Each structure stands twice: as C-alpha cells, then as structure tokens.
Amino acid sequence: MDAAIQSKVDLWLKGNYDQATKDEINRLKVENPTELTESFYRNLEFGTGGLRGIMGVGTNRMNKYTIGMATQGYANYLKKSFPGQEVRVAIAHDSRNNSRFFAETTANVFAANGIKVFLFQSLRPTPELSFAIRQLRCQGGVVCTASHNPKEYNGYKAYWDDGGQLVPPHDKNVIKEVEKIASVDEVKWGGGEANISMIGKDIDEAYIAMVKDLSVYPEIIEKQHNLRIVYTPIHGTGIKLVPEVLQRFGFSNVHVVDEQATPDGNFPTVIYPNPEESEAMSIGLKKAKQIDADILLGTDPDADRVGIGVKDKRGEWVLMNGNQTAVLAFNYMIEARKAKGIAQPNDMVVKTIVTTNLIDEIASRNGVKCYNVLTGFKYIAELIKEKEGSEHYVIGGEESYGLMIGDRLRDKDAVSAVALLCEMAAYEKDKGRGLYDKLIELYVQYGFYKESLISLTKKGMNGQKEIADMMSAYRSSPPATINGSPVVELLDYELRNGKNLQTGENWKIELPQSNVLQFVLADGSKISARPSGTEPKIKFYFSVHTRLPNAADFDRVHAELNGRIEGIIKDMKLK
C-alpha cells in the first residue's frame, strides 16, 4: 500500500473513531486490501453541490466522520456569513440506507454549533426541503440523498437561504471551510440537542397548498378526474406526498405500483432507482398496460426527478425521455396560461445548455423569454433570484428528468411535476388526444428535434484522469468535421469562450465557469461533452433537428434523425 494511504489508515486506527469503524478497517486489511485502498486513497471531495459517494469506512466514503467534518465546515461558514443572527437550517433525508442516521448526525453537529435546526421527523422529498428553507426563513439546509444512484451510494446536498443549492461565491467558500477541518477532533459532535426541532405535517400542508396553486385548469381536471394514472415512487420518498397531491388536485383514479410503494434503501426491484432507466419503470409499465392507463409516472428516491410513459400513435406504450417531457411541460405552461388569459408580458422560462433547443423555439414564437444556464437547478434558482421583481418565472427544467414549476421553491420538484403532467394529460384528453399526439403536433409546428445521451464510466483511481485527458484532447484538437458536417463553433464553458472555427471569431460566454464543451455543426447538430461532478463518468449529449412536414411523415423523419445521431456517435468513436 502507498505510504500516504497507509498513513491515513493508521490515523483512523489510532484516532477518535468508534470501534466498529476500526474493526471494519482491520477486516478489509485482511479480506479486501483493494477496497481498503479505494476507501482511503483520497478524501471524499466536498464539491459545489456537497458530498456523494459509496458508503463505508475511510476518507473516500460516506460515513459519520466525513459527514461530520463537512457539516462542521458548513456550520463555520454559516456563522461567519450571518454574524449576530440566529442561524437556522432545515434538514431532510430520503429512503436510502443510513440516510436517517446521516441526517441526525448532521443535525447534531449543527446544533452543537449553536445553530437552530429544523429536522423532518421522517423521510421527505428533496423539493420539500427547498420549500421548508424558504418557509421557515432558514439561512441554509441539507438533504441526505444520493438521488438516483445505486443502493451503495449516499450523499449530502447543501442549500443556501433562497432554497437553492450553493452557488458562487458560497459554494467555493464553503468548500474552503470544509477543507480547513483537518481532524474529527475539530467537530462538535453533540451537546446542542435543545436546538433541534422536529417538523412534518405543518410543512407538508403548506407545501401541498403551494403545489395546488400551480394548477392552471382545475375545471378540466374536474371533467377528467377519472384519468387513469399509474404512479411508482420506486421505493422512495414520493409515496409521502405524490398520491396525496394527486388526490387534492382532484384525480380519483390513481394506481400506485404496490411492488415499489414501500420506501426501501435496498431498492429490491431495480438495479438503478432512476426513472431514466426503462428497467426501473418496467413494473409500472406492466401495470399501465393492464389497466389501459392514460399516463405512467415514476419518481426517483428523493422525488426530484420524474419519468413518464404514454401511448404512441399505434397505441403502444413508450417512455418519454427528459427532453420530450420538458418540451410538453414547458409548452403546456406557456400555451395553457395564454389560453386561460393569465400569461404575463414579462413571463420567462429557463433551461440548461444541454437541454433541447426546441424549448427556445417554442418560447420565442410565443413571445416568452427563454434563458439558458449551466446544468443544475441551482443556476435556475440563481437566475430567478436575479430577475425577481423584473421578470415572472413560470417553469424551468433540464433534460435529466427535472422540472421546477413556480418560484416558491428553488430546486427540481417531481411532486409538483407529477401533478402538472397529469393535468396536462387531462387537458389533452379533453381535446380527444394523448400526449404523444401533442408532441408530434409540436414537432410539425416548431421543428422535429431529436436528442440522445451516452454516459461513459471510468472507474477507479485512473478514471478521473482518463476523463480529464479526453476533455483536454477535444480542447486542443477539436475535430474539423463530425459525421461529414463541418464543426462551425466550439463553445468552451471552462474557458468561457466561444469560437467560430471557420472565421476565427471569438466571443465571451456570459456564464460561470464549467467543464463543458459544445460542438455546433453546419447542419445544426449540437454535441455536448460534460464530465459528471459527482461520479467518474463523462456524458455526451447529441441534438439534431429538421423539418417535419406533417404527422404522417413522423416515422420517416424519426428514422432519418436517428441515423444522423448514430453517425455522429460512430464518427466520434464513442461506441
């Protein structure tokens, strides 16, 4: 074992760590030295969103000690940022193994630092934590979740006083404070229990009332209350609020997928508890077929992502991707508000740079301002804060199955999204059609945009280096053509520089720094390369588009666009 790693292991064996932790380290030394090395070869990084990693002993794992040190650093920064004030934080957690323990550990450390803590009495969706921060006038908050990651993972997301995740300068400043905590002996572990208050039903009721206020057409729900809805929480927190919210909206024919209704951190029916994965939605899809449902919806363990299934023009069930769902949701909020007469001249919508440009087109043609921000709802939240008082935020979203409707919270919210997507299905059913028909109509009206995504995972100690080398090569030697079409623009969000590769013209990208590259081709195609901030993987996003003359041409044009994406992937040697 490397000497530096051995030194860390020895420190844990000799230091103020519990006996169970030391016993597990000694077991790994004998039975799995490779795992021991992985557990200690680096410190689990407190990134701009917090912590995320595999649970276990060691500096590179999610455990009581890594969470305690992170919380101590965050507590120190909160107290510096709000001197002379009572600092208040809200804490929530999902259904993952150890999430309650991690949430209580976080609460105890904050409380021991003299901070007033509002701890949810049991698991709750992440968006409710964002709402609670604003509702209780907190300066910060934490939710213990690893979102849609496999069962071995857990995480720790940090929030600021607007209910959004940390953005500059607070993200980097908190990281600096966390990095100053060199030892578990610097953590205040207990003694402030009187500073902890339990919260639950009151916040639930306020949150549900907020979601109900988002409804645009309650009278159509009344007419279509019997809409056949199948919902799966995929063993997560959605079960706490989604069925209740649907009932309050007025839907009377909701079928919860029993096999996935019980919160369970082992996620026994799935490999990845992620509605982006068809496998995670398969049980719900089976039920939807059995009852001839109108719409299927699934949420991830912390209920901030939503996936939907609908019937296509042949009556076959298909799972929508995140771009398609976002297009339908954005269009509904723009179209329905206009039809209802409640649209405002200063309405705005927000999407991320890797989300379909079809949304930009729909917004533009309807006279609604559409902003593009970096990936992550914290940037949508930041823009809302910046535009408060001058522009009216309606909806935001990203391709990775996230939507945020209304500005009463500042993170993606699958609970309100489920309700509004069901209202949208009722709205279309009232016109005698399904959501798939509506999507094709939008393609005919605004252009047929087709998106796809590939994730390449590079595991182990060398994984991050391989990804960094890949990005460096793209920056230094961008391809001249991709799939036979010239690359006309290179957008480098790390350098905040855009360049026309044909004329040599340069311009500044007015967004924060982010390790993302985009290639824009002469035929309008766009390819984005983005390393994950939380996992050893790099994502490639592909977007192509063309005209769709009429609905009858859908299959032909769809195949043409699919072929274009496959050509790009093959040419870039990504498969």
DSSP for 463-521?
Answer: HHHHHHHHHHHHHHS--SEETTEEEEEEEETTTTEEEETTT--EEE--S---S-EEEEE
Q: Are 418 and 242 spatial neighbours (Cβ–Cβ below 8 Å)?
A: yes
Tokens of 215: 């409804």
> Dihedral of the CA atoms 301, 276, 529, 169 (nearest 10)?
-30
Tell me, rounded to whole angstroms, the distance of Cα 77 from its chain centroid: 25
The Cα 86–Cα 177 span in angstroms is: 20
Q: Cα dist. 300→238, 239, 271, 328, 496 in Å?
A: 8, 11, 12, 20, 33
Tell me, rounded to whole angstroms, the distance of Cα 369 from its chain centroid: 23
How many other C-beta atoms lie within 10 A of the C-beta of residue 465? 12
The Cα 398–Cα 346 span in angstroms is: 22
How many residues does the structure list for the chain?
575
The Cα 413–Cα 303 span in angstroms is: 7
Q: Are 94 and 301 spatial neighbours (Cβ–Cβ below 8 Å)?
A: yes
Buried/exposed 525-535: b ≥16 CB within 10 Å, e otherwise: bbbbbbbeebb
Residue position matching structure tokens 């009858």: 552
Residues paired with residue 529 on neighbouring β-strands, in sequence order: 517, 540
The Cα 93–Cα 50 span in angstroms is: 14
Query: H or E segment at 117?
Result: strand 116-120
477 tagged catalytic: no
How many other C-beta atoms lie within 10 A of the C-beta of residue 79? 16
Q: Are 192 and 112 spatial neighbours (Cβ–Cβ below 8 Å)?
A: yes
Tokens of 329: 């949701």
> Please, which residues have CB within 8 angstroms of residue 260's CB and are 6 or more apart in sequence?
232, 233, 234, 235, 269, 270, 283, 284
Given 95, 130, 147, 416, the catalytic residue: 147
The Cα 46–Cα 158 span in angstroms is: 10
Residue position matching structure tokens 């719409």: 295
Look at residue 67 and give its three-state secondary structure. helix
Per DSSP, which regions of 183-323 are E strands? 196-199, 229-232, 254-256, 295-299, 306-311, 317-319
Q: Are 257 and 230 spatial neighbours (Cβ–Cβ below 8 Å)?
A: yes
Positions marked catalytic: 147
